[in-house]
Homo-oligomer: A and B are copies of this chain.
Amino acid sequence: MVKIAVDGMGGDFAPKEIVEGVRLAINDFSDLSILLVGRSDELKKELQGFTKNIEIVHADEVITMNDKPREALLKKKGSSMHKAVELVRERIADGFVTAGNTGAYMAISLFTLGRLKDVNRPGIGVVIPFKDGDFGVIIDVGASVDIMPRDYLILAILGKTFLYTLTKNENLTVGLLNIGEEEEKGTKLVKEAYKVLKENLKEFKGNIEPHEILYHKADVIVTDGFTGNILEKSYEGALEFTVDMLKEEITKSIVYKIGALLLKPALKNAFNKLNYENFGGSPLLGVDGISVKAHGRSKRFAIKNAIKAAYELAKNNLIENFKQELEKIPQ
Contact = CB atoms under 8 A, between A and B. Distances in A.
A179 interface: yes
A259 B258 CA distance: 7
A54 to B, nearest CB: 36
Contacts of A145: 179, 186-187
Contacts of A244: 131
A242 interface: yes
A69 to B, nearest CB: 11
A177 B230 contact: yes
Given A211-B233, A259-B261, 6 more contacts: A210-B234, A211-B237, A234-B238, A235-B237, A238-B238, A259-B259
Interface string A265-309: 111011101100000000000000000000000000000000000
Name which of A190, A238, A245, A259 has the most chain B CB atoms within 10 A of its CB: A238
Name which of A231, A245, A256 has the most chain B CB atoms within 10 A of its CB: A245
A239 B145 CA distance: 26
A179 B106 CA distance: 15
Contact of A269 (B235, B249, B270): B249
A60 interface: no
A257 to B, nearest CB: 9
A213 interface: yes
Given A226-B187, A226-B190, A235-B234, A241 B214 contact: yes
A148 interface: no
Contact of A230 (B179, B249, B258, B261): B179
29 contacts: A131-B241, A131-B245, A146-B188, A186-B226, A210-B230, A210-B237, A212-B237, A214-B237, A214-B238, A214-B241, A231-B234, A234-B235, A238-B238, A238-B239, A238-B274, A239-B239, A241-B274, A245-B270, A246-B270, A248-B270, A249-B265, A249-B270, A250-B266, A252-B266, A256-B262, A259-B262, A259-B266, A260-B266, A262-B262
A256 to B, nearest CB: 5
A242 B271 contact: yes
A227 interface: yes
Name which of A236, A262, A274 has the most chain B CB atoms within 10 A of its CB: A262
A146 B187 CA distance: 6
A74 interface: no
